[in-house]
Amino acid sequence: MNEEFYISLIGEAFDGYTEATLDDRLVYIRHINIRDQRYLQKYHDRYKEIALSKGVESREDRQKRVIEDGIWTHEEDQKIESLQFEIENLKKTVKSIFLPSQQDEIRKTLEERRTEVADLLIKKQEVIGKTADDYAISRSSDEMLRFCLFKDCNLTERLYTEEEFAELEVWQIAKINDAQNSMSERLSETSLQEAVLRPFFGIYLSLCENPAEFYGKPVVDLSVYQLKTVLFGKMFFNIFQQTENIPDNIRDNPEKLMAFAETQRNKGSGAGVGGLKDDASASAVFGATKEDMQALNLKGGANVSLREEAAKHGGKLNMQQMMRLAGEDV
C-alpha cells in the first residue's frame, strides 16, 4: 500500500465514518462506539428471548441434546478447546522468539491449527443447526447494518427506518453487508498498525497517551477505530522509546517490530542474542540461518550460524570452536 492509502485510512478513522456507494448513491457508514455496542447487545438479547418464548432451543440446550443423542461428543469439544488453547500459545510464542526462520515455522503451524479448529466448528454447527442464539445474532447483525447507515456525513439522518429496512430485498441487504465488510477489511487492525508506523504519523505518536485529549471528546464517544488508532500509536511509541537497536528494515512492520521488542525484553540484562556477548567479534545463535542473523542486525564483525558452522565440522562443535565463534581468544 502507498502513503496515500494510509493517510486516507487514518483520516477515515478520525472522521468516524466510511463513505460507500449503494445503487449509485453516496452513503455513510458510521463507525460504532461503546454505546452502539451496548444497544446492539440489548437488541440481541431481546430477540433471543423472543425465540426462546416460541420454543426455539438455546445453543446450550441443543448442544446438550446432540451429545445425549450421540450425534456429537465431549471428546470433539475437548479437541476444539485443545486446538484453541494451542493457537493462543502459538500466538504468544511467535512474539517471544527472535529468529525469523523459527517465526515462519510457528506461523505455518498456527495456520494449520486454525484450519483444523475451523473445520471442527463448521462440523459442530451443522450438527447443532439453528438455535435461538443464531436467530438473535441474525437479527442484531441486520440491525447493525441499518443502525450504522446514514444519508449525510454529519450522521444525523439514517438511510432507512426499521420499517423501510424490513421491506428490503435480500440482494439489497447483501449489498449493504458487502459495504460494511469492505469497511471492516479496510480498517483492519493490521492496516491501522501499519498506518501509525508510516512517516506521516510519526509526529502524532507521542500524543497518543491521552485519547480524550487527542480527539477532543470523551472516550465513550470514540469509535472502536479511533480507540485502536491511539492504542497502537501509544504501543509503538513505547516500543521505540524502550527498545534499543531496532533494525531499520522492521521499523514499519508491526508484526516484526512487536516480535523484536518482545525478544529484547526477554533477553537477560547485558547479554546479547542467545546469551553471547554483544561486543563479540562474531555473533552466534544456535539454530539461526544467515538470513536470520542479517535480519536481527546483530553486532560484530561477522554473523555466524551455529547450525551452518556445525555442519562444516560433521554436525558438532566442541567448546573451543563455540568460544571462538563467540569472539573469545582460545
CA 94 to chain centroid, in Å, comes to 13
In three-state secondary structure terms, 176 is helix
Both 247 and 199 in one domain: the answer is: yes
Residue whose cell numbers read 480498517: 187
pLDDT value of position 261: 86
Both 259 and 213 in one domain: the answer is: yes
In three-state secondary structure terms, 33 is strand
pLDDT value of position 272: 47
pLDDT value of position 245: 87
| 256's grid cell | 516484526
Both 259 and 280 in one domain: the answer is: no
Q: What is the pTM of this model?
A: 0.76
Question: Per-residue confidence at 66, pLDDT binned at 50, 70, 90?
Answer: very high
pLDDT > 90? residue 72: yes
What are the E-state strand segments in 145-301? 149-150, 282-285
Examine residue 253 and state whether it is found in any structural domain, yes or no: yes
Query: Could you tell me the CA-to-CA distances from 187 to 10, 58, 147, 224, 239 in Å, in that order?
Result: 9, 33, 19, 10, 23
Both 245 and 281 in one domain: the answer is: no
Residue whose cell numbers read 479496510: 186
The pLDDT tens digits for 140-188 are 999 999 999 999 999 999 999 999 999 999 999 999 999 999 999 999 9
pLDDT value of position 279: 46
For residue 44, which amino acid is it?
Answer: H
Total domains present in the chain: 3
DSSP-derived secondary structure for 124-167: HHHHH---HHHHHHHHHHHHHHHHTEESSTT--SBS--HHHHHT
Range(s) of the domain holding residue 91 = 71-127
Mean pLDDT for 279-304 is 52
Examine residue 61 and state whether it is found in any structural domain, yes or no: no
pLDDT > 60? residue 282: no
pLDDT value of position 228: 96
What letter would DSSP give residue 1? Answer: -
- Provide the angle, in degrees to the nearest 10, between the axes of the packed helices 189-196 and 3-15: 110
| CA 114 – CA 90 distance, rounded (Å) | 11
Average pLDDT, the chain: 85
Length of the chain, in residues: 330
pLDDT value of position 100: 74
pLDDT > 70? residue 259: yes
For residue 288, which amino acid is it?
Answer: A
pLDDT value of position 304: 52
| CA 123 – CA 77 distance, rounded (Å) | 11
Beta bridge partners of 283: 303
Helix/strand/coil percent split, the chain, to 5? 65, 10, 25
pLDDT > 60? residue 269: no
Which of 223, 238, 265 corresponds to the end of one domain? 265
Nearest CA to 150 out of 20, 253, 23, 7 is that of: 20
For residue 58, which amino acid is it?
Answer: S
| CA 290 – CA 155 distance, rounded (Å) | 55
The pLDDT tens digits for 95-110 are 777 677 788 888 899 9
| CA 299 – CA 303 distance, rounded (Å) | 8
| CA 17 – CA 91 distance, rounded (Å) | 31
Examine residue 40 and state whether it is found in any structural domain, yes or no: no
pLDDT value of position 309: 61
pLDDT > 90? residue 295: no
Which of 109, 127, 145 corresponds to the end of one domain? 127
Nearest CA to 74 out of 132, 124, 134 is that of: 124
Both 290 and 234 in one domain: the answer is: no
pLDDT > 80? residue 294: no
Among 95-109, 124-138, 235-249, 290-304, which stretch is predicted with the lowest mean pLDDT?
290-304
Angle 309-311-312 from CA coordinates, rounded to 5°: 65
